[in-house]
Amino acid sequence: MVPEYVEVVVAPRSFNYAGTITGPIVVRHAARGDTPQDFPEPGWVDFPVVILGWWLAEVSALATGSTAEATCCFMDGPFELRITPAQRTLWRVQCVGRYLHGHAPIADFVAPAEKVRETVRAAATAALAECERRGWTNADVDTLRRSL
């Protein structure tokens, strides 16, 4: 198994606040030498502050061994990441669409566990910094702050 490139990409300057915070968030991945792909799709807009709080908890639980699988859901749309240990320092990441008649794998790859944890944390840190810069506060921002 050759590890792949993976990055959680947010665009905090494009976030909007109307009671809840919405903005671009994708998981960018690629095999070595391939063109990166965005999951669920390029320019996906969701609730990044909420879901990054969830994702931090999920990957932390997987890293400590308190769970055997991290399920990192998007809030809009039927999409999620399913992350499981593949080898000692690698995690298997499955990009999945949840549909009426089952789950459809969209992408399936391995990546360094530390890189997955690091990119989720970096995206969460960037999202929180932008919320603080704009003076936005709500329960979701508070939860994300505690998660970091």
Beta pairing partners, 54: none
- Which tokens belong to 35? 């063109």
What does the pLDDT read at residue 114? 96
What does the pLDDT read at residue 122? 98
- pTM confidence score: 0.93
pLDDT per residue of the chain (148 residues) written in tens, 0 to 9: 566 889 999 999 999 999 899 999 999 999 777 889 999 999 999 999 999 999 999 999 999 999 999 999 999 889 999 999 998 899 999 999 977 666 778 889 999 999 999 999 999 999 999 999 999 999 999 999 999 9
What does the pLDDT read at residue 3? 63
| CATH fold for the domain made of 5-140 | Secreted effector protein pipB2 fold (3.30.2450)
